Amino acid sequence: MSREIQIANAAGFCFGVKKAIQKAETMDKAFIFGSLIHNPQEVARLASLNKKIVYDLKDVEDNKVVITAHGLDINVIGQMKEKGLEIVDTTCPLVTKIYNEGLKLQGQGLRIVIVGDPKHVEVKGIASRMKDPIVIYHEEDIVQVPEGSKVGVVCQSTLLLEKFDQFVDLLKARCAEVVPINTICKPTKDRQTAAAALSKQMDIMIVIGGRNSSNTHKLADTCMMNLPNATHHIETAQEMDPKWFEGKQKVGITAGASTPDYLIEEVIARIRTYDELIPA
Ligand code: SF4
């Protein structure tokens, strides 16, 4: 009997990543500063098309450099300009919106708190535009925020929805004034909401996306809340173990914002090959 396979209502490439890739594809060759997207398979495909990822400005062997959808530290952009490089900026408009929201709150005399992974290029980009910001990612980081202070809060675009509310509550218990602006982007919200809803109805969830993709990890975390023993985060179809599907009739699929459609299609095709072999 064929298994039921359902893809989450919102899954895979977001418009920001899609636009960035399309832009790089229009260039004969491109030096992309940092990972354009957090998906090793798509990065390898782009490399085969002469789009090279570099992590150091000295490796840019052209007069042009591409800034990724996640944005970039403003100081690094300054160095690019000093070197006379032409900048092809594919920063997602929803990341630029976070810069603007942060600056607006700062203009109101608030100290900026950014909820997000301090090592992520997007968070570094936001922090670099603020005056003396505080980045918090784990609960224990809250001690960095001075008690009684007045803060404006923004967050990484791909943060887990619950995490933002949880941090705002912690800040409210500590600070004299807290003005939060939830800057999780709509595509991320849609993907998280759809993954949560689908994982409630399915027997197993397959979450496809780079192991270096923060939004894919968050989708997996979301599914795990409903299917703690039947959520599997994979990068490619080859990683699936047919045993996972034993006794599972309803298969849900979701994918991070950096996951191209062809990887999703490969997963579906492989699950179909299990229908005859593995009892649902
Ligand atoms: S995840 Fe959101 S902010 Fe990031 S590139 Fe996609 S749409 Fe833009």
191-239: pLDDT as tens digits: 999 999 999 999 999 999 999 888 899 999 999 999 999 999 999 999 9
Expressed in angstroms and rounded, the spacing between residue 94 Cα and the centre of ligand 1 is: 6
Does residue 258 have a pLDDT over 80? yes
Q: Quick one: 31 and 69 in the same domain?
A: yes
Q: Which of 29-33, 34-38, 134-138 has the lowest mean pLDDT?
A: 34-38
Residue that terminates a domain, selected from 38, 58, 91 = 91
Q: How far is the CA of 121 from the centre of ligand 1 (A)?
A: 13
At residue 171, the pLDDT reads 98
Q: In this predicted model, which residue has the larger pLDDT, 2 or 251?
A: 251
| Cβ-contact 187, 10 below 8 angstroms | yes
Residue nearest (by alpha carbon) to ligand 1 atom 2: 185
pLDDT at 118: 96
Name the domain count of the chain: 3
Region 227-252 average pLDDT: 96
Comparing 248 with 213, which gets the higher pLDDT? Answer: 248
Looking at residue 278, its pLDDT comes to 74
* Lining residues, ligand 1, CB within 6 Å: 14-17, 69, 92, 94-95, 157-158, 185, 187-188, 215, 257
Closest approach atom of ligand 1 to CA 17: 5
What local confidence, expressed as pLDDT, does residue 75 receive? 97
Same domain, residue pair 258 and 213: yes
Do 209 and 272 fall into the same domain? yes
Same structural domain, 56 and 135: no
Per-residue confidence (pLDDT) for residue 160, from 0 to 100: 87
Residues 40 and 57 in one domain: yes
CA 236 to CA 268: how far, in whole Å?
A: 11
213 and 266 together in one domain: yes
Ligand 1 centre distance from Cα of residue 149 (Å): 31
Does one domain contain both 67 and 122?
Answer: no
Domain check: are 56 and 27 in the same one? yes
The pLDDT, as a whole number, for residue 277 is 76
User: Quick one: which atom of ligand 1 is closest to the CA of 14?
Assistant: 6
User: Which atom of ligand 1 is found nearest the CA of 185?
Assistant: 2
- 22 and 73 in a common domain: yes
Q: What is the CATH number of the domain that holds 52?
A: 3.40.50.11270
- Identify the pLDDT of residue 212: 85
pLDDT confidence of residue 126: 98
Final residue in a domain of this structure, among 184, 210, 226: 184
Question: Could you tell which of 22, 157, 184, 186 is best to mutate to test the pocket of ligand 1, judged by most ligand atoms within 8 Å of the CB?
Answer: 157
For residue 115, the 8-state DSSP code is E
Q: Are residues 8 and 21 in the same domain?
A: no
What residue's CA is closest to ligand 1, atom 5? Answer: 16
∠ Cα 135 141 144 (to 5°)? 75
Per-residue confidence at 4, pLDDT binned at 50, 70, 90? very high
Q: Choose one of 92, 97, 155, 161 to mutate for the ligand 1 pocket test, by most ligand atoms within 8 angstroms of C-beta.
A: 92
Name the band, by pLDDT with cuts 50, 70 and 90, for residue 124: very high
Residue 214: per-residue pLDDT:
83
Domain that residue 80 falls in: 15-91
Which segment of 24-33, 81-90, 101-110, 149-158 scores lowest on mean pLDDT?
24-33
Among residues 126, 178, 173, 125, the alpha carbon closest in space to that of 152 is found at: 178
Q: Are residues 98 and 87 in the same domain?
A: no
pLDDT in tens, 33-60: 987 778 888 888 988 999 988 999 999 9
pLDDT computed for residue 8 by the predictor:
98
Q: How far is the CA of 156 from the centre of ligand 1 (A)?
A: 10
**CA distances from residue 64 to 32, 42, 80, 198 in whole angstroms, order as listed:** 9, 21, 9, 43
Domain CATH for 129: 3.40.1010.20
What percentage of the chain exceeds 90 in pLDDT?
84
Domain boundary among 151, 184, 217: 184
Distance of CA 122 to the CA centre of its chain: 9
Phi, psi (5° rounding) for residue 209?
Answer: 165, 165
CA 84 from centre of chain: 30
Catalytic residue among 42, 101, 122, 235: 122
Per-residue confidence at 122, pLDDT binned at 50, 70, 90?
very high
- Are residues 246 and 194 part of one domain? yes
CA 120 to centroid of ligand 1, rounded, Å: 13
Our answer to whether residue 122 is catalytic in this structure is yes
